Structure 1
C-alpha cells in the first residue's frame, strides 16, 4: 500500500479492490464459503465487454511455513481475512501501553513493503486500548497525521506503543491510529484530509491496519520538520470540537517502521511465500524473517539471487516493458495485483473488477528492471482474466493485474511474491531527504 511520499506516485493496494471485494462477496464465488467448484458466469472478456467466462477452480491451501518458527520469524497469511479480499498478506501484531501489561493482539494487519509505519484502524482496537494508548504531543499540542496513499488519505492521531511482531518487540513506537478524529478537525495549509473519502476504517482498507515495513525508517523524514508540511498537524480540543492545524514534527516523533526499531534483526526483512497454481489457491501461508545478516537464518545468499539496489523508498533506477511506456518499478506486498500500463491490455480492462485486466486468455509479460548498481533482471509474469479468478473461491493469485494509477511505473505487487524468497535490505541512512541510499536493495 504505497505512500505518495516516495519518489514515484505509486499504486495503493486497494486500487480496484473495492470492486474485487464486491465481486467475490456478491457474485456467487469466493466469499467466506471456501467453495472452489468450477462454474460458469457472465464476466468481462478480452475486449472489456461482456462475454461468457469460465470460472476456474482454485486449488487448496498452500504453505511454505517451517515446522517451527524462529524467534525472528512470523507467519504471513493470505486468506479470506477481514473482508474476503484477494491477495492481502496479513500478520498479527500486539500493541501495549509502554512498559505495562495493557495489551491487545490485532489480527488481519496487512504486510506492506511499500510504506513505512504501523497504522491501525480505531475500530480494530478494543475500548480499553482506544483510551489507554497515549497520544503523542509536540509543543503542547496533540499530534495527528494526514498520510497520503495513491487513492486517498488516512487521518487520525499519532500515539505511542510497544509493538510486538512474532517474538520481536520495538519499544515506544510512534504509530498512526486512523479514524479517531472527525474529518471536520482537519485544517491547515494543505487540508487534503478535510475533503473526500478517507481510508480510515477496517472496511475501507480490507484489513485492521497496515504494517509498513519498507526500506524507509520514517514516513517523511526531515521533509516534515517545517511547519507547513501537509502531513502532520497539531490538535487542540477533543471529539467533535477538535481542531487541528499545521505542525512541524522531527523525525524521532514521526510514525516509524517498527522493524527498524527492534533491538536486533532490524536491518531488513525476508518474505518467503509458497507458489500458487494458475487458478489460484484458497489460501497461502508463508513467513517473514526479520533482519538480514544478523542471524544464522537470515544471511543473504552470495549466489543464486539477483540484487537490485534501490533508493530510500524502494524504487529501482529504471524499468522497461516492450511496447508500452514503463520507466520505473518497485516491489510492494501492499498492492494486490501486478499494476502497470500496457498499450495492448488496456482494451481488456474488466467491467466487473474495476482497474484489473480481463484478457480472453492468459498473456505473458516480461518486464526488465535495473537497479542503481547497474544489474538488470527480466521477470516472466502472466496476466489472466481477473473476473474468472475472483469467482473461484480462492484468495491467493499469482497472475492478476491491472493498469491505471501506476503512471509509467511497474508495480510488482503481491502476485510477484508467490513462489519466491524476496529480500528487502534497509537503507542505513535514516532520512530519505538527505544523502543517497548506499545499500538498500531488493533481491530474489
Structure 2
C-alpha cells in the first residue's frame, strides 16, 4: 500500500500476499505495453490473433466496453460492491461485506467495507474490525508448535498479525476452515526485522492506513506463498511466535497458508467477475457494482461478450506503453492507474499525476494465446478530481509507483467493464477477460 498527501486511500499493490513472491512475480514474470490512440468506449478490439474460447461469441451483448452496466446481484454468487466514502473516506476503494465464523459454528460476525483486490490472495481482517469473533477463531500452529504469524508485503509496508482459521461466507458461498490473517493482533515490536524480517515501510494496521476493514484477495492463485514457503524458513512471510513475541521464520504447508477463499467454495470457485458501472471522467460521489463468483458455472457468469487474454499464473500479461515494454496486471486493489511517464506530480511527496489538462492515453496488451487489445484510458489531475471533496469514484485517476518497468491497471480500468479473472484450477490456465 502507498500513502498519499491528498486524502487518497492506501494503494494496495500486493501482488501475492507476501514480499518475496511479490518481488519475484512482479519483477521477473510480468510485462505490459501501451501506445497512443484508441477510443474511449471500446477496450477489447483485437489487434491480431483470434478471439479463441473467450471471443465475443454467441451474439451476446458485449460487456467489454467502458460503458457496460453491472447486472443485479442475486445474493448467492453475486454480491454488491460499493465504491464510496467507506470506512475511512478514501477514494476508489471497492468494498464488499464478508461474514466470518468460528469453524463449524454459528459464532459469526459480518464485517463491512472489505476491499476487493484482484491482485492478491487471501482474506486479511483488521483485528479492530473483527472484535466479536476474533477470540473464537483458532490459531494455526507453526511447524515448531508456536503461533503462525505473517508479514504480508505491500508497496510501502506490510500487514503483520496471526494466521487463524475461519469459515468465510460471501453471499451464499461458503469456504470452510480457511486460513486468514488477522492484522494488528500482535505487537508491532514483535514483527521480525533484518534479513529475514518484514519488508521495509509502514506497519499497516488501521483503517487510516489500509482504507478498509480488511482485504479480500481474490487473484488467480490459491495460496499466498505456495511452494517457496513449504521448503524455506527464510521466506520473509511466515513466522512462528511464542506468546506473541520471539518470532522466527518458519516453513508452512500450502494448506496452512493464507488462502484465497473463492478457491475453497464448493462451486463457483474457478474465478470471479468484477462489474462496476461507468462514471464520468470527473468522478462520481459513489458507484455500485457486483462481484460475481465463478466463470461459466451459472447463467449469470457465462464467458461471452468479452475477449480472453491468457496470463501467467499470477495474472500478468505482456505489452508496450509509448514504445516501452512494461509489466502489466489488472488490480482492483489499486486506486489509480499507475505507470511511468513524465507528467507533473501533484506534490513532491505523493505519486499522483496532476497534468495541466485531461489526457487521452492508451495501452496495448497481449495475452499468451496471441489475443491483443488497445486499452484506452483518461488521465485527469488528481488535484482537480478531489477539489470539492464530495466524490469517491474516479475512472481517470493515475500516477506513478517510482518503478519504471510496470503498468498497473487499477480500479479506474474496472469502471464500465465486466472484468473476468480466471484461475489456474482444474487444469485450466489463468486469464483475464473484458
Residue 420 of structure 1 is matched in structure 2 by 417
How is 1:12-411 mapped onto 2 (pairs within 5 angstroms)?
Answer: 64=69, 66-67=71-72, 69-126=74-131, 128-139=132-143, 140-187=145-192, 190-193=195-198, 196-225=201-230, 226-238=232-244, 242-301=245-304, 304-316=305-317, 318-322=318-322, 325-342=324-341, 344-345=342-343, 348-351=344-347, 354-392=350-388, 393-411=390-408
Instruction: Give the alignment's TM-score, normalised by structure 2.
Output: 0.82
Runs (4+) of structure 1 moved beyond 2 Å?
1-4, 62-68, 186-197, 404-407
- Using the alignment, how far apart are the partners of 2:358 and 2:152 within structure 1? 37
How far apart are the structure 1 equivalents of 2:73 and 2:413? 25
Shift of 1:193: 2.9
CA shift in 2, pair 1:326/1:383, >3 Å = farther
Partner of 1:187: helix, strand, or coil?
A: coil
Asked if 1 retains the 8 angstrom alpha-carbon contact of 2:196 and 2:235, the reply is no
Which whole-Å CA distance do the structure 1 matches of 2:199 and 2:247 have between them? 10
- Tell me how far 1:237 sits from its aligned partner: 1.5
Matched, 1:440 2:430: yes
CA RMSD of aligned residues (A): 2.1
Q: Distance in 2 between matches of 1:67 and 1:309?
A: 28
SS, match of residue 8 in structure 1: helix
CA deviation digits over 1:290-321, x for unaligned, max 9? 000111211101xx4221111111111x2111
Distance change (3 Å), C-alpha of 1:9 and 1:191: same
Q: Work out whether residues 329 and 408 of structure 2, in 8 Å CA contact, stay in contact via their aligned partners in 1.
A: yes
Contact conserved, 1:292 with 1:299, CA < 8 A, in 2?
yes
The structure, 1 or 2, with the larger RCO (C-alpha pairs under 8 Å, 6+ apart) is: 2
Find the counterpart in structure 1 of residue 7 from structure 2. Answer: none
Q: Distance in 1 between matches of 2:197 and 2:241?
A: 16
8 Å contact from structure 1 (residues 353, 386) kept in 2: no
What are the ranges of 5 or more consecutive residues in structure 2 without an aligned counterpart? 1-11, 29-66
Describe the SS at the equivalent of 1:156. strand
Contact preservation (8 Å) 1:110, 1:211: yes
**Matched positions, count:** 375
- Aligned equivalents of 2:363 and 2:329: distance in 1? 12
Deviations 1:411-439 (A, max 9, x none): 0000000000011100127xxxxxxx952
- Whether the 8 Å CA contact 1:77–1:89 is kept in 2: the answer is yes
| C-alpha displacement of 1:234 | 0.7
